[in-house]
Structure 1
Amino acid sequence: MDLNLHSHLTQVLSVEDISQVGHARRMTQKLAEQAGFDEADCGRVALVVTELASNILKHASSGELHVRALPGDVSGAAPGVEVIAIDRGKGFDVQSCMADGFSTRGTQGIGLGSVLRQAQVFDVHSDPRGSVLLARFFPRKSVVKDLRMGITQHSLHDDPACGDVWEVAIRGQQVSIMMIDGLGHGPEAEEAGMAGARAFIRNPFADPGVLLDDLHFDMRGSRGGAAALAQFDGASGKLRFIGIGNIGATLIGQDKTRGIPSHPGIVGLQYRKTAPIDYADCTGQLLIMFSDGLQSRWNLRDYPGLMYRHPAVIAAVLQRDYNRGRDDVTVLVMDLEMLDD
């Protein structure tokens, strides 16, 4: 799998009124058309989005749909559409709702089992704090390669400019991730982050220490920011990490959770030289990286079963429950595993 993913804001569709169900359906159907879906595939997306938005109104009174385009890769895997339904309702019995025709309060009753068949990738987490449901769609006749990664990015007050910037590059069994939080928020913070992103894109698989120097050089003259780089080698299972400033990072395994430290400083202005940290035997663990728009005092083990859900579900739960609400916020979750060639 060779793939380059670039920073973009998550599109948030509020679901607070019945009129917004139709709007959500039209917006996601348009996204599917732009991804090259035919009429039948667009219909699948429209059906599921209508059901998910209706369920939010019926069972939680209000919530959101988070949607984004999923790019294809050079091997021929098709682009897709991701829809995540998020609410703060009382939760539901996932097992019961998987039955076709099950509907507790008068929605279409297609059942989550039918949603599972309409979407090539499906996952859900529900507890008394609310529910998060993931559906990823690809054209029926296409090659589907689901990347076990979730990313949610939001600007403060829905500003079109976001000071958080991220990049992900995948080459064979290697993954390289960059996250920058430009100082403050708004256009000048975004300018700082994008300067670092351009340096990353030039050579994403360079040694992390060298790559950090490149980010620092290109971010000079901007207001600067926090930055972190993580590189995972699926063949060896080793993760290398280097961070300056307040980008948070955590490794979560079956038996333990490890916080990954960053160092003081501002990339683009001044920081003390430091070497990357190596972590061995990371295959099968979760890597979670986040800007300081997210509170740091969370624990996935407070959510029974959540660490086994799709990374996109995990990212959405963390953003829902731990967003500080006073800065841009980005959460990236990746399952560190062997990648398909």
Structure 2
Amino acid sequence: MDMNISGSLTEVLPIEDQSQVGHARRTTQKLAQQHGFDETDAGRVALVTTELASNLLKHAGHGELHLRVLPRAQSCGIEILAVDRGPGFDVQTALTDGFSTGGTQGIGLGAISRMADVFDVQADPRGSVVLARFYPRGDSTPDLALGVSQHSLHNDPACGDSWHLVLHPQGFNALVIDGLGHGVEAEQAARAGEAAFARASCSAPAILMDDLHQAMLGTRGGAAGFAQYRAGDQGGHLSFTGIGNISASLVTAERSRGLASHPGIVGAQYRKAKAFDYPHVQGHLLIMHSDGLQSRWNLQHYPGLVYRHPAVIATVLYRDFCRGRDDVTVLVVALENRHE
């Protein structure tokens, strides 16, 4: 059965003084309880939040917690990312029991890594990003190798970017739309296209792009790009179709390959919507983003980042390459043999 995951904004909690640590703990604990976590599991989320937020103050001086609810077939998970621009730290040392990156008697990253269902970290002189994901007990569904960082300009409730992911037994289909401009009218354009994609994401690319176009007529229109990935014995196959300035790349440790798009505006005018095919891509990363992110990033400039969880990769790219003058969406998916 197909599973639709609708786009949503990343919730950002600034951590600049001690009072915000308590607020962050209460926020994540309540979020966990609202999504089916029992008292014990919600307590795990709260304890890890406290340590991550405290370490931001002690280790980096300030930072942010990025929160996201993770829809799953039978439940929801909670994602917490601690983000800073501090001096970095030695990850292996920090994972040693009894060591706190802030130099205090905190529970430490080693304990956090055991309390979280999914844990990962990237630290270098540019700063650090620590990921902790939590799922309710009894949910044995594998973690989805997906990362999304989406933010509206000036924290506006309306976001002109939209993203959508459809999981199916053979693979997945992923969409990023950037409505022209920002604010409510841009959001209306993007959401219209997203709704059309959700209804027929497995259609032939030219037909699917026309569906988006028809749905976005009468709106501001925008740029749209979608990827259709099929896992299998042939090493995985991906097709990408784009109109406008949605960027997409296939990335490995050795190289990054940009995926071609066509000029135009979906919902206004474009000449053609040809899909470009990329065989044998299993093991690659698919990275898609709106033009709120600078295009000059290179994962090879971050030792080891290509091997990190997609949520860490998306957050590092947002932290270091957000233009700061538009809505921004970064979507990263590991192209695996099968996405549950």
TM-score category of the 2 structures, normalised to the smaller one = over 0.9
- Supply the AA of the counterpart residue of 1:337: E
Secondary structure at the aligned position of 1:101 is classed as: coil
Give per-residue Cα distances to partners, 1:247-288, cap 9 Å, x unaligned: 000101233210112111000000011320000001000000
1:163-182 equivalent positions in 2, closer than 5 A: 163-182=160-179
Q: CA deviation at 1:340?
A: 5.0
CA distance in 2, matches of 1:61, 1:96: 20
**Secondary structure, in 3 states, of the residue corresponding to 1:82?**
strand
Aligned residue for 2:207? 210
The one-letter code matched in structure 2 to 1:4 is N
Instruction: Tell me the amino acid that sits aligned with residue 185 of structure 2.
Output: E
**TM norm structure 2:** 0.97
Aligned to 1:200: 197
Aligned partners of 2:144 and 2:339 also within 8 Å: no
**Structure 1 contact 162–190 (Cα < 8 Å) conserved:** yes
Q: Could you say what secondary structure the match of 2:12 adopts? A: strand
Q: Does 1:38 align with 2:38?
A: yes
Whichever residue aligns with residue 282 of structure 2, its letter is: T
Q: Aligned in 2, Cα 1:217/1:105: closer, same or farther, shift over 3 Å?
A: closer
Which residue does 2:112 correspond to in 1? 115
Separation in 2 of the partners of 1:234 and 1:310?
19
Tell me which amino acid in the other structure corresponds to 1:204.
S
Cα distance per residue 1:281-307 (max 9 Å; x no partner):
010000000000000001000000000
Deviations 1:214-250 (Å, cap 9, x if unpaired)?
0001100001000001000012411001100000001
Percent sequence identity is 62
Question: Quick one: which amino acid aligns to residue 190 of structure 1?
Answer: E
Structure 1 residues 70-115: Cα deviation after superposition (integer angstroms, max 9, x where no partner): 1121xx4x32100000000000010011111112545442121110
Task: Trace 1:1-341 onto structure 2 (pairs within 5 A).
Answer: 2-73=2-73, 76=74, 78-103=75-100, 105-235=102-232, 236=234, 237-339=236-338
- Post-superposition Cα deviations, 1:305-329, rounded to whole Å, max 9, x if no partner, equal 0000000000000000000000000
CA distance in 2, matches of 1:6, 1:153: 12
Tell me if structure 2 keeps the 8 A contact 1:227–1:247. yes
The Cα of 1:49 is off from its aligned counterpart by 0.4
CA pair 108-25 structure 1, distance change in 2 beyond 3 A: farther
1: CA distance between counterparts of 2:141 and 2:122? 23
SS in 2 for 1:53: helix
Of 104-113 and 287-296, deviating more is: 104-113
Could you tell me whether the CA contact under 8 Å between 2:237 and 2:277 is conserved in 1?
Answer: yes
Partner AA of 1:158 in structure 2: N
Q: How many residues align?
A: 338
SS of residue in 2 equivalent to 1:152: strand
The aligned amino acid for 1:142 is: D
- Structure 1 segments unaligned to the other structure (5+ residues): none
The CA RMSD measured in Å over matched residues stands at 1.2
Are the structure 2 counterparts of residues 191 and 340 from structure 1 closer, same or farther at C-alpha, using a change threshold of 3 Å?
A: closer
Q: Is the 8 A contact 1:150 1:332 kept in 2?
A: yes
Could you tell me how far apart the structure 2 residues matched to 1:318 and 1:197 are? Answer: 23
Query: 2:172 touches 2:339 (CA, 8 Å); kept in 1?
Result: no
Q: Deviations over 1:53-75 (max 9, x none)?
A: 000000101100000111121xx
Moved more, 290-299 or 331-340: 331-340
SS of the residue aligned with 1:339?
coil
- Alpha-carbon shift at residue 141 of structure 1 (Å): 2.8
2:48 is paired with a residue whose SS is helix
Which letter does structure 2 place at the counterpart of 1:240? S
Counterpart Cα distance in 2 of 1:309 and 1:243: 27
Structure 1 position 2, deviation (Å): 4.0
Change (3 A) 1:108 1:173: farther
- Give the SS at the match of 1:92: coil
Q: Is the 8 A contact 2:287 2:333 kept in 1?
A: yes
8 Å contact kept, 2:89–2:101: no
* Counterparts of 1:114 and 1:40, CA distance in 2: 16
Q: 1:279 to 1:219 in 2, by over 3 A?
A: same
TM-score by structure 1 length? 0.97
Structure 2, unpaired ranges of 5+: none
Q: Matched residue of 2:331: which SS?
A: strand
* Other structure's SS at 1:283 match: coil
